Amino acid sequence: MPSKKRLEDHEPALPDLRPQSLSEYIGQEEIKKKLQIAIAAAKIRNEPLDHILLAGPPGLGKTTLAFVIAKEMGKNIYVTSGPILERQGDIAAILSALDFGDILFIDEIHRMNKAVEEIFYSALEDYKIDIMVGKGPTARSIRVGLKPFTLIGATTRSGLLSSPLRNRFGMILEFQFYSENELVEIIKRACGIMKIKVEDDAAYLIAKRSRGTPRIALRLLKRARDVMTIKGKDVLSKDLVEKTMDILEIDELGLDEMDRKILKTIIEIYDGGPVGLEVLASTLNVEVDTLKEVHEPYLLRMGLIARTLRGRIATPLAYKHFGYPYKLRGGL
Ligand code: ADP
């Protein structure tokens, strides 16, 4: 059975750019309001926090928030992810090593296999697990009691979870894309930590190109800092950010090469659509899940594609973005 030390192997190094408390965590106001109440109440009752599901596209701060919750509760957090939990024994070892109120964070929780998922049903509801010991005719199931703990699961969409698993979460928190002003705040905070002097319009331009996503904002900021260093400047100006965007081929809507390829494929090969997601994924040679969870949410949000019963279509805005004439198609 692995010790705590072993569990910590699952933990990625925490970059210092991560906010440490709910008050430092920018945006997601609705989520923070709900959490503040739940955390305060759990502390007064001296109970572990109810199980929490965090749902939303990658890079919106789910992992960061899980660490903030653990800090606010004053508890340990252990990190793992759905696809690496292969056997029931793995999860039994992890769960039985948790102390009262500890937090287990499972990223990509929708990718756990069925056998592992089933162990969680009784673990989450009754803090008990049944594990098989022995093999063949001598195999038997033994029941192991667990200390009350909190599971925080992260997934790109809550609908990807089976309903028995989803129903065991006391709170399902859906993340929203960040506004430009919130991203400016995140960028400026990171500049403070990284000791970068940044002009307001430079921070705003990075925010505008970040697809509502802090992870992208911070990545673009780091690349812009590289350009600043190479040019021998000590202030990050709008000019330098524009240069960075040109180098990275990120256009004024924040679209990268892959996004543009998706839109152009729908327009040029499928005559604007409708085209099914599976067909589109195989034409582009990407996984359906990547298309659906990583690229599509932003293209939908920007109104560049739309979902119809027969598949995805490119909107007039997408045509305009590439300077193509839009032709109305019948039957849509
Ligand atoms: P997810 O788990 O949803 O994929 P992460 O928690 O890994 O996203 O966040 C990606 C990056 O964005 C992290 O480096 C984190 O520092 C930063 N970040 C995310 N949300 C916020 C926020 N609300 N305030 C400040 N930084 C944030």
Give the up-direction half-sphere exposure of residue 142: CA atoms within 13 A in the CB hemisphere.
9
Closest CA to ligand 1's atom 6: 61
Atom of ligand 1 nearest to the CA of 178: 23
CA 170 → CA 16, 22, 61, distances in Å? Answer: 30, 20, 20
What does the H/E/C string look like for 314-332? ECHHHHHHHCCCCCCCCCC
Q: Specify the pLDDT at position 329.
A: 61
Residue 208 Cβ inside 6 Å of ligand 1? The answer reads: no
Tell me: is residue 293 an annotated ligand-binding position.
no
Residues across the chain: 332
Catalytic residue ranges:
62-63, 107, 156, 215
The alpha carbon of 327 and the centre of ligand 1 are apart by a number of angstroms equal to 40
Q: How many CB atoms lie within 10 A of CB 162?
A: 12
Cis amide leading into 274 (omega within 30):
yes
pLDDT, block means (10 residues), the chain with 332 residues: 41 62 96 98 97 96 97 96 89 93 97 92 94 83 93 94 96 96 97 95 97 95 96 97 97 94 96 95 94 92 94 96 80 45
Mutation pick for ligand 1 pocket among 215, 216, 218, 220 (CB with most ligand atoms within 8 Å): 215
Query: What one-letter code names the amino acid at 141?
Result: S
Could you tell which of 11, 14, 16, 18 is best to mutate to test the pocket of ligand 1, judged by most ligand atoms within 8 Å of the CB? 18
For the CA of 28, the nearest atom of ligand 1:
23
312 known member of a binding site: yes
Assign 104 to helix, strand or coil: strand
pLDDT at 88: 82
Tokens 């992810």 locate to 81
- What's the CA-to-centroid distance between 65 and ligand 1, angstroms? 8
Query: What's the 26 CA to ligand 1 centre distance in angstroms?
Result: 10
Q: Rounded distance, CA 188 to CA 148, Å?
A: 39
Ligand 1 and 274: CB distance under 6 A: no
User: What is residue 257's predicted lDDT score, i.e. its pLDDT?
Assistant: 93
Q: Are 41 and 160 in contact (CB under 8 A)?
A: no
What is the b/e burial string over 23-59, where b = at least 16 CB atoms within 10 angstroms of the residue's CB?
Answer: eebbbbeebbeebeebbeebeeeeebbebbbbbbbbb
What is the reported pLDDT for 294?
87
Asked if residue 99 belongs to a known ligand binding site, the reply is no
Q: What's the gap between Cα 262 and its chain centre? A: 21
Q: Distance between CA 54 and CA 72 in Å, rounded?
A: 17
Q: What pLDDT, on a 0 to 100 scale, did the predictor assign at position 136? A: 85
Q: Whose CA is nearest to atom 20 of ligand 1?
A: 61
- Say which residues have a Cβ less than 8 Å from residue 84's Cβ, sequence separation at least 6: 10
How far apart CA 133 and CA 50 sit, in angstroms, is: 30
Q: What's at 240, amino acid-wise?
A: L
Phi, psi of 59 (to 5 degrees): 85, 5
Global confidence as pTM: 0.89
Token representation of residue 186: 């995140």
For residue 45, what are its two tokens?
């009752």
List the beta strands (DSSP E) in 61-218: 77-81, 103-107, 128-133, 140-145, 150-155, 171-174, 197-198
- Which tokens in the block code for residue 279? 């067909």
Distance 60 CA to ligand 1 centre (A): 5
156 lines ligand 1 (CB under 6 A): no
DSSP letters along 214-280, please?
A: HHHHHHHHHHHHHHHHHTT-SEE-HHHHHHHHHHHT--TT---HHHHHHHHIIIIISTT--B-HHHH
**β-bridge partners, 313:** 306
Ligand 1 near 153 CB (within 6 A): no
CB 99 within 8 A of CB 71: no
